[in-house]
Chains A and B, each alone.
Chain A
């Protein structure tokens, strides 16, 4: 077992001529909740997709538990994308069967309990669910695995504050504590209280990687305040005529 769960070496991803990630070097250990923080377009989703094997790097290397992305790394990663990835004809019970079949670390009992607490019945079809319920179903399935790495892409974007609390508490109470949770977001104030470490991404570069406690101690400010400082955009105030 590799001491570091994630190792990225010179990771670069180009979309045409546009550089989404540019020579990223990063190492993340085990048993942590890490915030992948950056404004829109900074490369957060690209990095997560490279980690779970949905994209191939243009250059550089991704190692998860010492292995290149493939069937092994996919068996230890639980991924929550920023969109719905289920076929809408499926029922909740179909999805539970699907996860049971493909993921040895899926806890069927835990998923059933969480669905029951949310009043989601096994016979409910995805097609008939509201957007919020679909997101909850996806979150329940992802967090019912005892994965080594949870990759959560913008889990609290576009939901109301009550739903944010539900999502964060679901993550905190259900993740495998010997595993690592990587949460990508630009809503720092909401997640700051749960983070152990923060990785700041800007224009495809890691501009800072530190523990949250160290940031607070060294900078004398919260991660949210530091984020606003690093990513401050000067508003256009009119041109001189």
Chain B
């Protein structure tokens, strides 16, 4: 059933975002061509307009992605569409995870499209002869020699990015689910819950740092990390960050699932 939920979630999410992705990449290519033409003559009005359209689309992709993530959860599970979704023969946790997976995929895709569009723009003036003349193989060989576990570090960085996104989205979901418990002003209460959760997370971090200072834990941590080699230290740091975001995601998904399973109150 999870696969079927994902099928409809992706269909719904991509409907609005894919045309925007196409537009942003097309405008980036137009900008690239115009910049290539005006490389020696300076920017004219068409180039300025094209660049403004590009930045406008970048903002639009960001805003539409956030709106889609919020709306797909709020309208899909807590408003009228919830009457359909919550009467499907699936467990609430499957509904939450399908929304989370779809939203994460689209957020990452929006980021990737943004990066690709920037790369298209940056390719102005790139000389492919020079590009391929660089000794890439030798560079990788040096990298392996100096930092053999770099592919693992890249993977860990990607996981940090992935679970940072899931943690943020799960926090949004938990805020909306908790806001839904109010009998009135549910949207406003969702905002309030988001602020409360964010403040609580900041306070927790502050308390941890204060306690670490007061108990000398930070001193021991400094001693410990200086005793390790830098590569091990980096991996440990990245893995702990991944774990922290995973725990955050699990806790907020758990809260959301608890509300939808035990406190569902569709009006």
- Chain A residues in the interface with B (C-beta under 8 A): 15-16, 49, 52-56, 70-72, 74-75, 77, 79, 81, 83-87, 89, 94, 98, 101-103
Contacts and interface: CB of A to CB of B under 8 A. Distances in A.
A140 to B, nearest CB: 15
8 nearest A-B pairs in the assembled complex, by CB-CB distance? A75-B89, A85-B83, A85-B84, A74-B89, A71-B89, A81-B83, A101-B4, A79-B87
A98 B263 CA distance: 26
Given A74-B87, A75-B89, A15 B183 contact: yes
Contacts of A53: 86-87, 264
A90 to B, nearest CB: 9
Contact of A77 (B4, B7, B87): B87
Contact of B80 (A71, A77, A79, A83): A83
B91 interface: yes
A54 B86 contact: yes
B7 A101 contact: yes
A16 B184 CA distance: 11
A127 B265 CA distance: 27
Contacts of B90: 71, 74, 102
A67 B81 CA distance: 25
Contacts of B209: none
Contacts of A102: 1, 4, 88-90
B12 interface: yes
Interface centre among B12, B81, B86, B263 (most CB of A within 10 A): B86
Contacts of B86: 53-54
B15 interface: yes
B265 A55 contact: yes
Nearest to B75: A87
B76 to A, nearest CB: 8
Given A15-B183, A98-B8, A102-B1, A74 B88 contact: yes
B266 interface: yes
24 contacts: A16-B183, A53-B87, A53-B264, A54-B266, A55-B264, A56-B262, A56-B263, A71-B90, A72-B89, A74-B88, A74-B90, A75-B89, A81-B83, A83-B80, A85-B83, A85-B84, A86-B81, A87-B75, A87-B81, A89-B15, A94-B11, A101-B8, A102-B88, A103-B89
Contacts of B1: 102
Interface string B112-123: 000000000000
Contacts of B7: 101
Given A71-B91, A75-B89, A101-B4, A83 B83 contact: yes
